[in-house]
Amino acid sequence: MKDDTNKTDSETRIARRDLSQGAIAVLSGGPFDFTNPPEVRNRMDQLILDVNADPYVLANTGGQGLKFKLIPNQECKHIHQSRWPDVCDSLKNLKASPLILIGHSNGGAAVIDIARCLQNQGIFVDLAFTADSVFTLNDDGDVNKVPSNVKLNLNPYVIPTPYWPLLPFPFGQQDRREADNSLDGILNIGLPYPEPGAIAHRDAFYDLAGGDLQASGAYKYPEMILQTTLAVLRGAGNDEIFQLAQTDLQMLANEVLIDIDVETTNFKTTLIPVSADGSRISVPRLTEATIQEMRGQMNSVEKLRLSAVLNSSPVSDT
């Protein structure tokens, strides 16, 4: 008989985890799904495929993977942010556990809306990944205040730079706990891309999902979203996941040659890029007052942009 006395607690927990009732929802932003860049929508669907193709996930779901078809007539693997109330209703009935929620832009806001909707039902969210969250038209509270039923929140957000006005676009901000304004279980990731606003907004999700697919078949950057999701599903603790995320973010900083701000409870640092030739893009930071002025202006524009949904009939928004 095999001697298991030398197994760590982590190894034992991983071996015994049941994922058969698990679910994953990935939510896109914009007034309509088709207004999102196709590479973002495609990567969202691929992310679900990759999670469900993982050997550990397959072995612990009876070969089925996590449930992702959550609303009636769902055509894509990902779901548009406007359907978050329907997703919440579905998850209430499923009582899914573990539960992974990933969103970009208005989809990041929808993730917090879903979590808050599930809170009264005693349903926990194991991971809320909120990439550059921007409010929706039907939010249930402050989308940058994380409810207590979210065990872990990874929150990358764009820090506008002088390049941002070349293509202005709404941008996210730091998250805090709803109950006490703390950073417990939250990792804020500030990304000061030297890019026009709309491109930086895209990259707050796209780069952390790996960026472009290379000729070698590998992605250009670390697949931080996938790797942290799988770590959560394997039962890793928050500190372990924060360390994994920081390692991937350091590699991303090295590749894109920008500083990346990282903050959680009792820990705050800036990841400085390290390159073979010592090169680095020096990006001046805007003042907080300038950033808040930009935010106010873009919030007004975003309300008008999203209001288009009230006056148009999209082909499909699932």
Note whether residue 110 is domain-resident. Answer: yes
Cα(231)–Cα(137) distance, rounded to whole angstroms?
Answer: 33
Note whether residue 10 is domain-resident. Answer: no
Cα(98)–Cα(94) distance, rounded to whole angstroms?
Answer: 11
Tell me the residue range of the domain where 243 lies.
18-310
Task: Indicate the pairing of strand 127-131 with strand 153-158.
Answer: parallel
Q: What is the pTM of this model?
A: 0.92
pLDDT recorded at residue 284:
84
> What does the pLDDT look like over 77-133, one tens digit per residue?
999 999 999 999 999 999 899 999 999 999 999 999 999 999 989 999 999 999 999
Evaluated on CA atoms 230, 183, 270, 204, the torsion sign reads positive
pLDDT recorded at residue 88:
97
> What does the pLDDT look like over 129-179, one tens digit per residue?
999 999 999 999 999 999 999 999 999 999 999 999 999 999 999 999 999
Whether 191 and 315 have beta carbons less than 8 Å apart is answered as no
CB burial readout 234-253, b (16+ within 10 A) else e: bbbebeebbebbbebbbbbb
User: Torsions phi, psi of 262, nearest 5?
Assistant: -130, 130
Note whether residue 93 is domain-resident. Answer: yes
Note whether residue 37 is domain-resident. Answer: yes
Note whether residue 2 is domain-resident. Answer: no
Note whether residue 12 is domain-resident. Answer: no
Cα(287)–Cα(80) distance, rounded to whole angstroms?
Answer: 34
- The mean of the pLDDT values for the chain is 91
Q: Does 2 score more than 50 pLDDT? A: no
Note whether residue 271 is domain-resident. Answer: yes
Closest among 208, 202, 204 to 220, alpha carbons compared: 208
pLDDT recorded at residue 16:
64
Note whether residue 88 is domain-resident. Answer: yes
- In which region does residue 20 sit, left (phi positive, over 0), alpha (psi from -120 to 50) or beta (all else)? alpha
Total domains in the fold of the chain: 1
Q: Does 11 score more than 80 pLDDT? A: no
Whether 245 and 187 have beta carbons less than 8 Å apart is answered as yes
